[in-house]
Amino acid sequence: MKRFLLLLFGLGLGFAAGAFWLYQSLPAWSEVARELPQPVVVKLERGTRLVDFAKTLEQENLIDQSSRFRFWIKFYRDYGRFQAGQYRFEGSVSPRQVVETIESGKTWQPVELQYVVPEGFSLNQVIDRLVAHKVASRPELEVMSRDSQLLQKYGIKAPNVEGYLFPATYSLVKMPTSRQVFEKMLDTFFVQLPPGIVEELAARKLTLHQGVIFASLIERETQLDEEREMVSEVIWNRLKDGEPLGIDAALIYGIVDYQGDIKTVHLKDGKNLYNTRIHKGLPPGPIGAISMTSLRAVLNPTRLGYRYYVLGTDGTRQHRFSRTMAEHAVYVKQLIQASQKP
pLDDT digit string, tens, across residues 97-134 = 999 999 999 998 888 899 999 999 999 999 999 999 99
For the chain, list the strands marked E by DSSP.
34-35, 40-44, 85-89, 92-93, 113-116, 169-172, 308-311, 319-322
> Is the separation of the CB atoms in 62 and 40 below 8 Å?
yes
Sequence spans of domains, the chain: 2-104, 113-192, 200-306
CA angle 133, 136, 137 (to 5 degrees): 105
Query: Helix, strand, or coil here: 259?
Result: coil
pLDDT of residue 109: 85
> Residues with Cβ < 8 Å from 137, sequence gap 6 or more?
131
pLDDT digit string, tens, across residues 203-260 = 999 999 999 999 999 999 999 999 999 999 999 999 999 999 999 999 999 998 888 8
> Residues with Cβ < 8 Å from 216, sequence gap 6 or more?
120, 163, 286, 287, 288, 289, 290, 294
The CATH superfamily assigned to 2-104 is Endolytic murein transglycosylase (3.30.1490.480)
CA distance 73 to 88: 20
Closest-CA residue to 171 (of 101, 110, 119): 110
**pLDDT at residue 24 is higher than 90:** no
Q: Tell which wins on pLDDT, 207 or 18.
A: 207
> Residues with Cβ < 8 Å from 79, sequence gap 6 or more?
50, 73
